[in-house]
Structure 1
Amino acid sequence: MLHRGHQGTDGTGGGELTVPMAWLYAEYIADEVLRTGDLMPPTSFEFRAGRDALALTIFLSDTDGGLPGIRVVSQLDTWLSLTAYDQPWQDWVRERLAQVAAEAAERGGPAPDLELAEAAWRWLEETELLAPDLNAVPGGGPVTGEDDGPKVWTPAWQLGLPLGHLAIHLF
């Protein structure tokens, strides 16, 4: 017997598989939005960072457990506001993950959706990608090609978040 991840089981250990449907659906939506935007190759780490950041936004903004039944278009403004440049997205993610974990603990059942969301957040926080230095002073040195500008190691979420935000605009 399969259970949706957000419904849980009775904890009897009867060999039932709990399927993380809410997380898988959030990840699917994020993947489709990014592919539609065609901003990065789907095999790149930048794409993964964008997909994970957007999937976290989608998953954690679902406060009533209705994610698999949502209409994507009706949520675009919410996702845009959460991923906007001037928002403390990483603080919001930490707070929402803590809330979701507390709710899962109260239910006492397995939380595979939460486990996948936490794994995505750990990857986004702990992984650094080499990216153009957007804070570099213009004219600071000779640039011979478009990829030769100054680069810095940047947490994956700091690359993925604006990529996801832009992809939502293009969707």
Structure 2
Amino acid sequence: MLDRGQESTDDGGDELTVPMAWFYAEYIAEELLRTGDLMPPTSFEFRAGRDALALTVFLADTEGELSGIRVVTQLETWLSLTAYDQPWHTWVRERLAEAVAHPAVGGRSAPDVELARAAWRWLQETELLAPDLNAVPGGAAAGAGEDEGPKVWTPAWQLGLPLGHLAIHLF
């Protein structure tokens, strides 16, 4: 079993570094979402929530303690970072830029950072069709169900972030 101090597969010159910090952040995010039972695990919405929450968990770990943290002690931090009135997307961009410039800070490996960057790219570039929460009340046909109301294409992170926040609350 690999620990945070042993992330390579051998002691030779061509070491394979396993991105354990990112994998652990994804695991925590997925478990929080599964516990909340908010979306089917096979849906794009679930992936958006998992990636947004994994980025929050991964980037909030500035001391390299991710593999040793107790989830319960970090819940308040993650709740405050994912709250509706917080500039989460700006925080992610800034933290990722720092991680790219200094990948070893916080015990992260370059592969950890690359997987986090890939998740962020997907969250930004992927749009999901979602109910238009800014639609004028009463603008939809009376009695229209959730699937029949106005919809808008929304960046995946804008759907995933509130799902992640709600999953933390439900934990």
- Relative to the length of structure 1, the TM-score reads 0.89
What are the equivalent positions in structure 2 for 1:118-133 lying under 5 Å apart? 118-133=117-132
- Cα distance per residue 1:55-86 (max 9 Å; x no partner): 00000000000100000000000000000000
Between stretches 137-146 and 71-80, larger displacement belongs to 137-146
Give distance in 1, aligned partners of 2:122 and 2:12. 30
Question: CA 1:166–1:150 in structure 2 vs 1: closer, same or farther (change >3 Å)?
Answer: same
Asked whether the 8 Å contact 2:126–2:156 carries over to 1, the reply is yes
Q: Which amino acid aligns with 1:168?
A: I
Unaligned runs of 5+ in 1: none
Task: Give 1:20's aligned residue.
Answer: 19
- Relative to the length of structure 2, the TM-score reads 0.89
* Deviating 4+ runs (over 4 angstroms): 2-9
2:128 aligned counterpart, secondary structure = strand
- Tell me how many residue pairs correspond in the alignment: 166
Give distance in 2, aligned partners of 1:31 and 1:162. 14
Task: Give 1:134's aligned residue.
Answer: 133
Asked whether the 8 Å contact 2:7–2:20 carries over to 1, the reply is no
Give distance in 1, aligned partners of 2:63 and 2:104. 17
2:17 aligned counterpart, secondary structure = strand
Give distance in 2, aligned partners of 1:45 and 1:37. 16
Give distance in 1, aligned partners of 2:24 and 2:136. 41
Question: CA 1:29–1:53 in structure 2 vs 1: closer, same or farther (change >3 Å)?
Answer: same
CA RMSD of aligned residues (A): 2.3
2:102 aligned counterpart, secondary structure = helix
Question: CA 1:4–1:95 in structure 2 vs 1: closer, same or farther (change >3 Å)?
Answer: farther
Question: CA 1:110–1:51 in structure 2 vs 1: closer, same or farther (change >3 Å)?
Answer: closer
2:163 counterpart of 1:163: yes
What are the equivalent positions in structure 2 for 1:50-129 lying under 5 Å apart? 50-104=49-103, 111-129=110-128
2:14 aligned counterpart, secondary structure = coil
Asked whether the 8 Å contact 1:3–1:18 carries over to 2, the reply is no
Give distance in 1, aligned partners of 2:4 and 2:56. 18
